[in-house]
Amino acid sequence: MRDQFAFLGLPAPTQRALARAAVAGLPAPAEADLRAVALACWELPEREYQYFACDWLRAHVSVPGPGFLATVRTLIVTKSWWDTVDPLATRVVGGLVRRHPALVAELDAWSVEGDLWLVRTAILHQLHYGAETDTGRLFGYCTRQAGHRDFFVRKAIGWALRQYARTDPEAVARYVAEHRDRLSPLSVREATKHL
């Protein structure tokens, strides 16, 4: 990853302390502020700025309306790698969809997109939903992408299933048994790690 992006070289604790100091005393951001800051951070070459944007969006995910998903989509498909896509998927997109359930139609479209990072986001967006997980969608997304050739999609399938197994291990075990021939060995291994 260090070969893909420029870094300032700040250790994570230092980066978080600087971020807290930078926003201390500022008023709560509006949606326009979130958009402007996130897009500005994405324009900068050093990866720590994108990490700041991900953390800031996560902290304020209750602010934006459903239209903000278009901004997050831009972030996901720009300078894409797991280190920013995963927090955007699991915390920001997941939070937006939870607050604005109609957005799930957009995630349905992402689940069959040609962009692997949008597919990964669709699969992972419910990661922290627990008992509120829409299992039809989770299993449907996993089934549709079971034969995907990319490591990051196969890993996301396994991760999402493993996480949901904490809530309903029987459902995940049943799903894996029924689809083992279609799922990659990586997805199966990840999904069944704690079963």
Copy the structure tokens of residue 43.
């324009």
68-79: per-residue pLDDT in tens? 999 999 999 999
- 164-191 in b/e form (b: 16+ CB < 10 A) is bbeeeeebbeebbeebeeebbeebbebb
Residue 10: pLDDT over 90: yes
Q: pLDDT at residue 165 above 80?
A: yes
Q: What is the mean pLDDT of residues 143-167?
A: 98
pLDDT of residue 170: 98
- Nearest of 153, 160, 167 to residue 191 by alpha carbon: 160
Q: What is the DSSP letter of 46?
A: B
* pLDDT confidence of residue 157: 99
Mean pLDDT of the chain: 97
pLDDT of 2 > 60? The answer is: no
Q: Return the pLDDT at 68.
A: 99
Its pTM surpasses 0.85: yes
Q: Look at residue 1 and tell me whether its pLDDT is greater than 70.
A: no
Q: What pLDDT is stored for residue 133 in this prediction?
A: 99
pLDDT band at 52 (very low <50, low <70, confident <90, very high): very high
d(CA 108, CA 150): 19
* pLDDT for 3: 80
CB 10 within 8 Å of CB 50: no
Phi and psi at 174, nearest 5°, equal: -65, -45
Which SS3 state, helix, strand or coil, does residue 143 take? helix
